[in-house]
Amino acid sequence: MSIVERYFELALRVGKHVDELVEAYHGPPELAARVGAEQPLAPERLEADAEALLAELAAADLDPARVRWLEAQVRALHTFARRVAGDEMSYTEEVQLTYGIRPRWYDEDQFERARELLDEALPGAGLLEDRFARWLEASAIPKSVLLEAFQSVADDLRTRTRDLVGLPNGEEIEVELVSGKRWGGFNLMLGNLRSRISINTDLPFPALDLAYFMAHEGYPGHHTDGAWKEQVLVREGGRLELALVLLGSPAAVVAEGIAELGPELVLGDEDQEVVARHLGKVGVKHDVSVAKKVADARKLLKGIPSNLALLRFDRGKSREEAREYASKWSPQPQERIEKMLDNVDYRPFSGYTHCYPEGLRLCGAFVRGDAARFKRLLTEQLVPADLAAGAS
């Protein structure tokens, strides 16, 4: 049995103990069927299997980048097996072993600055939180035109992405509205260069996020990343291991870094003008000036979920204490704070929240505004340590 087949087996077997761990699988169907028919293996057995696979990888005659990637993924699976087995480890150690990054605490000075910017953008009487809530409600995209607006901006961003880094022939996305999810949006790779992008309508969708969201999930974010890797690494390079996507892994850091950096590269500073243009097509007005100021402020708040995760799982704070912290620094309405807390609290993937800011930091330093280096992120088998080394 090949190393890649053993990797597939290990991932699918650990996934029987950890719901949602295997986000997508497009490998040999007979392998998945065989593992699916098995009884769940003891986590101690899975730990041993991961250790044996790591030892085999250390001696494997494969491309070094491929070995580093597989080792990082297997180490994440080993960590999940340890957690299921009840092994004790600190939160920081768990995040490092699972994602290949160290969780970072973000200085509250930037949150304070964000509140100041929002106060300037949304003048008037009353608490900032109340003014911001009213603005979010007033500027939300009506659900009746939400899908049409997303499809319109997707066409625009697809053209921009093709001009920036190209697109594989035959790639395709579909967009759907969903509800009852802890997340705001999700991209699922369907195989054959296709993706399904789901938009959660549990809360009204803020107009200012229209272009960013589609750039993050679609062009040139998750869909573009998945399609190029399928084309170059799987189809052309025979690296079938990319046909399995793990939700908790170092690959997720790179993926979220690409998705967070992508909007900057295709939209620049005209993101809200793009929003206004596409909302205008569906009869919705958009105040570009105010939206730009609000968007700038919200960028400074992106470290709050990372701090909440550290409060909860590194410092042992209660959910109520985390809620108090979030309410102090985030001006979002309470229902949005609760969604944020739900996402942070979703064990065993609470460490995933660090993938966004750390992925953006690493990918941004690696790319340095160069489209050719961004294309490398899409078509090479990189781990967070590679990005740190390539940025220096």
Mean of all residue pLDDT scores within the chain: 96
Q: Does 219 reside within a domain?
A: yes
SS (H, E, C) 290-303: HHHHHHHHHHCCCC
Closest CA to 216 of 125, 154, 283, 165: 154
Instruction: Please tell me the distance from the alpha carbon of residue 270 to that of residue 193, in angstroms, as a whole number.
Output: 29
Q: Answer yes or no: are the C-beta atoms of 67 and 57 closer than 8 Å.
A: yes
* DSSP sequence for 51-76: HHHHHHHHT--S-HHHHHHHHHHHHH
Instruction: Please tell me the distance from the alpha carbon of residue 204 to that of residue 277, in angstroms, as a whole number.
Output: 20
- Do 62 and 181 belong to one domain? no
3 state SS of 38: coil
CB-count exposure of residue 233 (10 Å: 0-12, 13-18, 19+)? buried
- Do 34 and 170 belong to one domain? no
Q: Answer yes or no: are the C-beta atoms of 384 and 355 closer than 8 Å.
A: no
Mean pLDDT of 371-392: 92
Convert the pLDDT of each residue in 232-260 to its tens digit.
999 999 999 999 999 999 999 999 999 99
Instruction: Please tell me the distance from the alpha carbon of residue 170 to that of residue 205, in angstroms, as a whole number.
Output: 30
- Do 149 and 201 belong to one domain? yes
Mean pLDDT of 219-243: 98
Residue 333 Cα to chain centre, angstroms? 23
How many residues are listed for the chain in this entry?
A: 392
The pLDDT value recorded for residue 346 is 85
Q: Answer yes or no: are the C-beta atoms of 252 and 99 closer than 8 Å.
A: yes
Q: Answer yes or no: are the C-beta atoms of 211 and 267 closer than 8 Å.
A: yes
3 state SS of 191: strand
The pLDDT value recorded for residue 347 is 77
Structural domain for 303, as ranges: 108-391
Q: Does 95 reside within a domain?
A: no
- Do 53 and 122 belong to one domain? no
Q: Does 288 reside within a domain?
A: yes
Q: Does 33 reside within a domain?
A: yes
Q: Does 165 reside within a domain?
A: yes
Convert the pLDDT of each residue in 286-315 to its tens digit.
999 999 999 999 999 999 999 999 999 999
Residue 183 pLDDT > 90, yes or no? no
Mean pLDDT of 11-29: 97
* DSSP sequence for 328-376: HH--S-HHHHHHHHHHHH-TT-GGGGGHHHHHHHHHHHHHTT-HHHHHH
- Do 79 and 117 belong to one domain? no
The pLDDT value recorded for residue 392 is 62
Query: What's the token pair of residue 162?
Result: 């093709």
3 state SS of 285: coil
Mean pLDDT of 168-194: 94
Q: Answer yes or no: are the C-beta atoms of 94 and 28 closer than 8 Å.
A: no
Residue 262 pLDDT > 80, yes or no? yes
Convert the pLDDT of each residue in 94-132 to its tens digit.
999 999 999 999 999 999 999 999 999 999 999 999 999
- Do 57 and 115 belong to one domain? no
CB-count exposure of residue 85 (10 Å: 0-12, 13-18, 19+)? middle
Residue 389 pLDDT > 90, yes or no? no
The domain boundary, picked from 88, 119, 141, lies at: 88
- Do 241 and 134 belong to one domain? yes
Q: Does 337 reside within a domain?
A: yes
pLDDT confidence bin for 391, thresholds 50/70/90? low
Instruction: Please tell me the distance from the alpha carbon of residue 304 to that of residue 329, in angstroms, as a whole number.
Output: 8
The domain boundary, picked from 59, 88, 117, lies at: 88
Partners of 189 in beta bridges: 195
Q: Does 319 reside within a domain?
A: yes
The domain boundary, picked from 56, 88, 120, lies at: 88
Convert the pLDDT of each residue in 324-367 to its tens digit.
999 999 999 999 999 999 999 987 888 999 999 999 999 999 99
The pLDDT value recorded for residue 310 is 97
- Do 58 and 25 belong to one domain? yes
- Do 304 and 186 belong to one domain? yes
Q: Answer yes or no: are the C-beta atoms of 152 and 278 closer than 8 Å.
A: yes
- Do 124 and 71 belong to one domain? no
Mean pLDDT of 180-190: 91
Residue 370 Cα to chain centre, angstroms? 22
CB-count exposure of residue 142 (10 Å: 0-12, 13-18, 19+)? middle
Q: Does 157 reside within a domain?
A: yes
Q: Cα torsion for 248, 360, 373, 168, to the nearest 10°?
A: 50
C-alpha distances in Å from residue 85, one per residue of 14, 44, 389: 11, 6, 34
- Do 62 and 174 belong to one domain? no
Domain count, the chain: 2
Instruction: Please tell me the distance from the alpha carbon of residue 13 to that of residue 15, in angstroms, as a whole number.
Output: 5
- Do 121 and 264 belong to one domain? yes
Dihedral angle sign, alpha carbons of residues 278, 369, 115, 256? positive
